């Protein structure tokens, strides 16, 4: 446990929890926030559980703005879910207020804490073990888009500025190449050329957003499988979690990052690049689920651009790994000297495989355009 139990008990007492606190234990395997599971016993004898988190204000510099985003989005989701006959206590995150009516608590040591109601009878998975789970995550993230289609995306704070601004990522990459502080550029000339050969691609989504050809939407920006809670009985995706990176952006970011992560046949840091490819069956399955979940809220242009979203999010991620390698591995945690370079190469290998399968990827998107 990263903090003394007595301190955690004091912090949890700042929030409007039901009943008597019975236990508090570390929970999950996240790398950003410190997370704890609280178990309480209500007067009725019912067990009530909560998630207590210390927000990492080194990563998220504006905890107040971050929580304003989360409170606004979750309240909107709960209203929509209730209108649709769903259960807003399970199908959306529920922020527990502090005893003075706030959405978070700032400790005297300048740490920031928040609390959610625990989503009961649900599980999440770190990797795609069954295609149906990947499909259910697609439906859930698509439904997230549908429910928030009318939310004023422009009102959201950018919790990490320029997070999926591929042009900005490209500019940072160029600066890293030019500065070359560790004299690594010469050894990765092939990887650098891979990016510069695709410089025009880096502008595509940013240009479409700027021109209004695709709409600005509420985006999750971390659409990994483990950010979906799946019902233990039905296996259906019931709740999107980890809303720290909810920001204004394009639905193509969310879709593309899921494909980058979930349709890759190998690990993100796989050294054997022969194991890396884009699984077209998983690509088609996720595309189907995402469009179904969106329920007609995507535009024709967005659907046709889905393959480009997948390619650009993969290229952007590879570019970020390469930038970090050139700058000395200060952003992403590494476990071996060339870890970020291995990660970069898997992403670029995935991009190249997508390019080789481009016609089939476009045909899949066009098929679901016709049937939505």
Across 154-178, average pLDDT: 96
Share of the chain above pLDDT 70, in %: 97
Examine the pLDDT at 30 and tell me if it is beyond 80. no
20 domain-assigned:
yes
Question: Do 191 and 318 belong together in one domain?
Answer: yes
Length of the chain measured in residues: 372
Give strand pairing partners of 15.
98
pLDDT band at 6 (very low <50, low <70, confident <90, very high): confident
The rounded distance, in Å, linking the Cα atoms of 271 and 266 is 10
Q: In this structure, is residue 172 part of a structural domain?
A: yes
Q: Are residue 164 and residue 145 in the same domain, yes or no? A: yes
2, pLDDT greater than 60: no
Q: What's the CATH number where 269 sits?
A: 3.90.1200.10
**Are 138 and 281 found together in one domain?**
yes
Tell whether 356 and 259 lie within a shared domain.
Answer: yes
Q: What is the pLDDT of residue 39?
A: 95
**Domain total for the chain?**
2
Q: Is residue 126 one of the residues assigned to a domain?
A: no
Query: 111 vs 1, which has greater pLDDT?
Result: 111
Q: What is the CATH number of the domain that holds 85?
A: 3.30.200.20
- Express each pLDDT in 56-73 by its tens digit: 888 888 999 999 999 999
pLDDT of residue 28: 73
365 three-state secondary structure: helix
Q: What tens digit of pLDDT does each residue of 230-276 get? A: 999 999 999 999 999 999 999 999 999 999 999 999 999 999 999 99
CA distances in angstroms from 98 to 6, 19, 77, 95, 108, listed in the order given: 18, 15, 21, 10, 15
24/9 Cα distance (integer angstroms): 8
Q: Is the pLDDT of residue 112 over 70?
A: yes
Give yes or no: residues 45 and 156 share one domain. no
Q: What is the predicted pLDDT for the residue at 1? A: 44
**Look-up: residue for tokens 């070359």?**
180
- Summarize the confidence of residues 84-98 as an average pLDDT: 96
Q: What does the mean pLDDT of the chain come to?
A: 94
Note whether 73 and 159 are within 8 A (CB).
no
CA distance 102 to 70: 13
Q: pLDDT tens-digit profile of 196-221?
A: 999 999 999 999 999 999 999 999 99
Question: Is 150 within the bounds of a domain?
Answer: yes
What share of the chain in percent tops pLDDT 90? Answer: 86
Q: Are residues 106 and 185 in the same domain?
A: no
pLDDT at 114 over 50: yes
Q: Are residues 62 and 106 in the same domain?
A: yes
Residue 250, in any domain of the structure: yes
Q: What mean pLDDT do residues 308-334 have?
A: 96
Instruction: Give the residue from 98, 120, 142 where a domain finishes.
Output: 120
Q: Does one domain contain both 213 and 315?
A: yes
- Domain ranges, residue 76: 5-120
112 and 259 co-located in one domain: no
Q: How far is CA 152 from CA 164, 217, 219, in A?
A: 19, 8, 12
Question: What pLDDT does residue 372 have?
Answer: 59
């Amino acid at each position: 446990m990263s903090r003394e139990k007595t301190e955690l008990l004091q912090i949890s007492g700042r929030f409007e929890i039901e009943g008597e606190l019975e236990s508090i234990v570390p929970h999950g395997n996240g790398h950003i926030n410190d997370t704890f599971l609280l178990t309480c016993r209500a007067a009725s004898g019912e067990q009530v559980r909560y998630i207590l988190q210390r927000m990492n204000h080194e990563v998220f510099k504006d905890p107040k703005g971050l929580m304003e985003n989360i409170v606004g989005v979750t309240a909107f989701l709960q209203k929509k879910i209730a209108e649709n006959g769903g259960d807003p206590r399970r199908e959306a995150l529920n922020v527990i207020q502090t005893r003075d009516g706030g959405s978070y608590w700032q400790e005297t040591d300048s740490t920031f804490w928040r609390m959610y109601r625990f989503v009961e009878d649900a599980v999440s998975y770190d990797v795609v073990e069954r295609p149906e789970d990947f499909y259910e995550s697609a439906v859930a993230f698509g439904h997230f888009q549908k429910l928030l289609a009318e939310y004023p995306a422009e009102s959201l704070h950018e919790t990490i500025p320029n997070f999926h601004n591929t042009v900005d990522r490209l500019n940072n990459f160029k600066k890293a190449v030019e500065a070359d502080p560790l004299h690594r550029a010469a050894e990765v000339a092939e990887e650098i050329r891979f990016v510069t050969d695709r410089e025009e691609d880096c502008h595509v989504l940013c240009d479409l957003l700027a021109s209004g050809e695709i709409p600005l939407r509420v985006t999750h920006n971390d659409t990994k499988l483990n950010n979906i809670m799946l019902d233990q009985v039905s296996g259906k995706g019931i709740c999107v979690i980890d809303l720290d990176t909810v920001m204004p952006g394009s639905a193509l970011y969310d879709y593309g990052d899921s494909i980058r992560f979930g349709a890759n046949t190998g690990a993100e840091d796989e050294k054997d690049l022969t194991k890396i490819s884009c699984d077209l069956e998983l690509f088609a399955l996720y595309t189907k689920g995402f469009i179904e979940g969106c329920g007609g809220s995507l535009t024709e242009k967005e659907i046709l651009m889905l393959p480009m979203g997948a390619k650009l999010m993969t290229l952007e991620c590879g570019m970020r790994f390469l930038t970090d390698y050139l700058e000395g591995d200060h952003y992403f945690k590494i476990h071996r000297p060339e870890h970020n370079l291995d990660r970069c190469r898997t992403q670029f290998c995935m991009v190249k495989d997508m390019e080789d399968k481009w016609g089939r990827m476009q045909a899949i998107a066009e098929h679901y355009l016709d049937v939505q």
